Structure 1
């Protein structure tokens, strides 16, 4: 149980770094370049993917003996599915509410975090030989 709590703590730390990167890039693209929020969200995701994978591979799931390339492909799949759900939710919320785009983005990013942990732990960084 202690190892799981430690892993969750690392996941939260890496996830916060990746989410902050995602949010900052997306908001920066809107504010500096006049990008549409949904387009800026994709730009933020691309940069945050690198932060998230690097952190999870090197810290959160470092004890998993999964080859780097396999973990990268799996995590990309998880992340791509997440950004698809993120975009749908974000578009719906942008359309249905008057809440500022940057606040909505933060809410959507936070909502995806737990799902990403569970799928990453159970599949993306799972060592099939040890399972």
Structure 2
């Protein structure tokens, strides 16, 4: 349960960074939402990996050198899913902030499962 609470806190922090970057780039600099989403993802990835390695899945004792490439694959899969769903929702006419919020929540469940059971899995006893 503690792992899930940390995952939520770290995920919410990373999602907030992601959301804020997208919003800022779209509103301040007029970036297209899908392009801003790439920048938001890149910054959120740093927050996410660090927080999940140190807090969410620390008890699994995975070495960073093992967990980073695995988590990068999980995050990459999550991002591809994110970008495809985001593009679809934008094409359907949803407002970009609402669409992004829905996508971030949807991808979180997949990320948790893959992170817990593979990316941050430490050595077997």
User: TM-score of the superposition, structure 1-length normalised?
Assistant: 0.92
Report the counterpart of residue 84 of structure 2 in structure 1: 88
What is the Cα deviation at residue 69 of structure 1? 1.4
TM score, norm. by length of structure 2:
0.96
1:113 paired to 2:108:
yes
Please give the residue correspondences for 1:1-131 in structure 2 after superposition, counting only pairs within 5 Å: 5-97=1-93, 99-130=94-125
> Which ranges of 4 or more aligned residues in structure 1 deviate by more than 6 Å?
none
Inter-partner Cα distance in structure 2 for 1:69 and 1:112: 24
Q: How many residues align?
A: 125
Gapped regions of structure 2 (runs ≥ 5): none
Shift of 1:65: 2.1
**Root-mean-square deviation over aligned CA pairs:** 0.9
Distance of 1:115 and 1:8 partners within structure 2: 13
Q: Distance in 2 between matches of 1:108 and 1:93?
A: 9
